[in-house]
Amino acid sequence: MTRKTYAEHRDALLRRYPTGQTSGGVGIDDIVQLKMQNTFSTHLDIARSMAGVMRADMAEYDLDSSKFTQSLGCWSGFHAQQMIKSVKRLRGTTKGAYVYLSGWMVAGLRNRWGHLPDQSMHEKTAVVDLIEEIYVSLRQADEVAINDLFKGLREARKAGDAAAEKAAISAIDGFETHVVPIIADIDAGFGNENATYLLAKEMIKAGACCLQIENQVSDAKQCGHQDGKVTVPREDFIEKLRACRLAFEELGVDEGVIVARTDSLGAGLTQKVPVSQHPGDLASDYIKWLKTEVITQDNPIQEGEIALYQGGEFVKPVRMPNGLFAFQDGTGRQRVIEDCIASLTQGGADLLWIETDTPNVDEIASMVNEIRAVVPNAKLTYNNSPSFNWTLNLRGQVRKEWIASGKIAEDAYPEGIKLMSADLDTDELGLETDRRLAAFQADISARAGVFHNLITLPTFHLTAKSMDELSRGYFGDDRMKAYVNSVQREEIRRGVSAVKHQHEVGSDLGDTFKEMVAGERALKAGGHANTMNQFANA
């Protein structure tokens, strides 16, 4: 998105108001500030702009796999705002940083029915509301930051410092928005393809440039890391992908991104047996993985059962008491590969998501290599999930490799809970594990086509841990020392702007607006009695 410069805004206003102010006495510099603070007119404009950002990032990744992108799952606008501010302090730019909106966290934390599991039990509107809230918060971060820049401009002019004035205008023109792409979880679509389309439109209008949808049955959806997952035939899933694409196209988000997620690796059931029209079509490739029994005199077809003709004989698929059909054991990997190829080549998906049960680069890379044999530029979004016990998994992987290479004996580092021991934190195995943890995202992006690395539920766990840490100290012996040491001092020393909480939520922004309309009559909050002045240098 190309933004007008300070000079372009001012010149345009001077043509309308040659005296430098409106007939009502509003100064054009104040109008310029408000126009530049409003970095996006609508959230649909955000969706269009951020889709372009994602497409550019994807193209850059295709040329250099080290240019992968990242996000953290956020369950409030404030979490998202603070994450992006932190990235900007760290890197000097928000490039490559996104926000992930997790259906799990909406169900667990953002619905009116209580803390619920990730089973599409939350209201559809809760997802849309959170997208809207996140972008309101990110846009407010823009407003507060740009207001500070204009304050610097006014001070430079008041002091008659031409160099400082020029620098202030340059900073205003070069301001980088806090608004970044959101990858938004639409679960399994919350109903049929029309319901998916209607919800997708609302999510896009709220600002989502990227929708992530999974191939589970909507009314039987489970968290990707739980048992009992039921997938739908590929034709059904492709119709959901088309519904999302039509929503993007209708709303003019031509570069909208769709992430097709497959849960087949851990799903042992399917909802129905699709109808095959000819050998090798989507239905036949899906049906071939069903668990079946040969129909014989000793195992005849019974009243109410169904039969399939496969491989030159009649068989009956294994049917569960609830009417669902079982897949053959050990076929999840093959089904994942076929799911991904179908989603890319026939469903028009842009990115893949393979839900795995452990964080194993070799496992994911082997599947992606087979997918890329058919679709060479296939790219993934990968869930660096808190459902994995990362310490246990990676220490186990290191131990296994070291035993295989002869570096250690088979009885070294007993498996199981002992691998979690804090004693290993400074041990050679623990240090090697930590090295691999630090390199994990770069490794998986280079070797397994992962364009985007995310953590689904970090703010859920962070909030739980942080509140436990503060509560244990505050309600224990440390009292205020617990708050000061674990929160406030760290905010100040790290440069976290939220330490000045009045400023963070727009107090100075409000004072500026009061001055715009009331001048010296403005009743401002930021005077000498404001206790936030104690943090002036923070």
DSSP string, 87-127: HHHHHSS-TTEEEEE-HHHHHHHSSTT-S--TTT-S-HHHH
Find the largest Cα–Cα distance for the chain.
101
Distance CA 277, CA 226 (A): 34
Query: How far are the Cα atoms of 294, 300, 301, 302, 318 from residue 297, in angstroms, in the given order?
Result: 10, 5, 9, 11, 17
Distance CA 520, CA 529 (A): 18
Query: How far are the Cα atoms of 308, 399, 402, 404, 418 from residue 410, in angstroms, in the given order?
Result: 48, 9, 9, 9, 15
Spatial strand order in the sheet of 313-317: 292-294, 313-317, 308-310
Distance CA 424, CA 394 (A): 13
> Can you give the three-state secondary structure of 485-530, one letter per residue?
HHHHHHHHHHCCHHHCHHHHCCHHHHHHHHHHHHHHHCCCCCCCCC
Contacts of residue 447, Cβ cutoff 8 Å, sequence gap at least 6: 361, 365
Tell how strand 182-185 and strand 230-231 pair up. unpaired
Strands (E), 176-307: 182-185, 210-214, 230-231, 257-262, 269-270, 292-294
Catalytic annotation, pick one of 74, 223, 244, 340: 223
Contact between 481 and 469 (Cβ < 8 Å): no
Determine whether 244 is an active site residue: no
**330: helix, coil or strand?**
coil
C-alpha of 119 from chain center: 18
Cα end-to-end distance, the chain, whole Å? 33
Counting every residue written for the chain, the total comes to 538
What is the helix (H) or strand (E) element at residue 324, kind and residue range? none
What is the helix (H) or strand (E) element at residue 352, kind and residue range? strand 351-354
Distance CA 532, CA 29 (A): 27
Q: Is the four-CA dihedral 89, 90, 95, 97 of positive or negative sign?
A: negative
Rg (CA), the chain: 28
DSSP string, 395-444: HHHHHHHHHHHTSS-TTSS-SGGGGG-GGGGGSHHHHHHHHHHHHHHHHH
Distance CA 7, CA 173 (A): 9
> Can you give the three-state secondary structure of 154-166, one letter per residue?
HHHHHHCCHHHHH
Query: How far are the Cα atoms of 5, 38, 347 from residue 21, in angstroms, in the given order?
Result: 19, 20, 55
Indicate which residues carry an active-site annotation: 223
